[in-house]
Structure 1
Amino acid sequence: MTVYFEDIEVGTTERFGQYEVTREEVIAFASRYDPQDFHLDDAAAAASIFGKIPASGWHTCGMAMNMIVSHWKECGTADASMGGLGMDEVRWPHPVYPGDVLRCEIEVLDKRPSASRPEMGIIKSRWSVFNQNDTLVMTLISNGIWRTRAGKSG
């Protein structure tokens, strides 16, 4: 069953996911997309504020997106997702390290139908990502586009 824009309620919170962060993945991502020395080199990381190699914040965003899309596929929401308009207030209050196991919470903050496109609506939600110790490692506000029942055939 597909979950459409109309089915999503403001104020709801979903908790899900389990993503184990590996050293190999942290270094591979950083090598390609955020090649700062403290993401790539043990000595540079030890001399930094992190003390050991941390994941890039952008990598943390990607790991969260992986958990979210997997969750949407499991619960029938993926077919109604039409992409996003952007993210606001991205924060990384605590580093993510290899060996951490991440999970997500998404709270629906607001929703509005599109004024010009009846096949879609906008959902504003807060994403919170926690590690295995329930330490908050990332927050952001997502502005997603969702298919309405009027747009289900297109």
Structure 2
Amino acid sequence: MVSEALRTPLGSLTPRFPLPSRRIALYDFRAGSAAGDAKAEASMADVMRHKRGGIYFEDFQVGAVIEHGLTRTVTQMDNMLFSNMTLNPQPLHIDAHFCATETEWGKPLMNSLFTLGLMIGISVNDTTVGTTIGNLGMTDVAFPAPLFEGDTVNCTTEIVAKRESRSRPDAGIVDFLHKAYKQDGTLVAQCRRQAFMRKRPTPATVAV
């Protein structure tokens, strides 16, 4: 059973839609058919979650799309703090006067690496918390539209591929396609990510 703490958004983050149970909104095959709905319902009936909420390798279904309930309004502080922490002096992110007078944007752009991290971070609570061994890589990173301070981000994750590990019988590799949108539905970021995922624990691996 999922604890109440796992159903509650963290801090000031708010859900885009009610999530009475995190098992309801996880798998949307977007088929719009009885077969698709039945497949989604059946897949969710067998999902085993880590005590922190993550999904094990066996339970990820290729073709599934997860609509994440957490959203985040990005701020000037995000831009300033992230750019400072990464030693990035780019005025596109930290100098409002520069942006107003020397760029076509007229205002600061969000640091794209912050946007990438936020998009992946939003996905973690519904997918990999407690069940990932580590990231293996990211490809096809794109930022098709600008994101500005004051915009609100929501995200989806599609399971695009999975395979057994060739070196570890207790793990597998899952390919996620993350997408981030701002409040008007504009796609602002996307990334394909490979994660090394734990399989369901067996009686021999469960601590007594």
TM-score norm. by structure 1 comes to 0.89
Tell me, what secondary structure is at the counterpart of 2:130?
helix
Structure 2 equivalent of residue 15 of structure 1: 67
Structure 1 equivalent of residue 98 of structure 2: 44
Structure 1 equivalent of residue 136 of structure 2: 85
Q: Which amino acid aligns with 1:4?
A: Y
Check whether the contact 1:89–1:141 (CA below 8 A) recurs between aligned residues.
Answer: yes
Deviation at 1:51, TM superposition (A): 2.0
Structure 2 equivalent of residue 63 of structure 1: 118
Looking at secondary structure, tell me which structure has more strand per residue: 1
Q: Which amino acid aligns with 2:196?
A: I
Q: Which amino acid aligns with 2:60?
A: I
Task: Figure out how many residues of one structure are paired with residues of the other and give that number.
Answer: 150
Supply the distance in 1 between the matched residues of 2:73 and 2:191 (Cα, whole angstroms).
20
Check whether the contact 2:155–2:181 (CA below 8 A) recurs between aligned residues.
Answer: yes
Check whether the contact 1:120–1:145 (CA below 8 A) recurs between aligned residues.
Answer: yes
Percent of paired sites with the same residue:
30
Change in CA separation of 1:49 and 1:31 when aligned onto 2, cut-off 3 Å: farther
Deviation at 1:127, TM superposition (A): 0.6
Q: Which amino acid aligns with 2:82?
A: F
Looking at secondary structure, tell me which structure has more helix per residue: 1
Unaligned residue ranges in structure 1 (runs of 5+): none
1:117 aligns with 2:171: no
Check whether the contact 1:14–1:105 (CA below 8 A) recurs between aligned residues.
Answer: yes
Tell me, what secondary structure is at the counterpart of 1:106?
strand
Q: Which has the higher contact order (CA 8 A, sep 6+)?
A: 1
TM-score norm. by structure 2 comes to 0.67
Deviation at 1:45, TM superposition (A): 1.4
Tell me, what secondary structure is at the counterpart of 1:78?
coil
Supply the distance in 1 between the matched residues of 2:79 and 2:125 (Cα, whole angstroms).
20
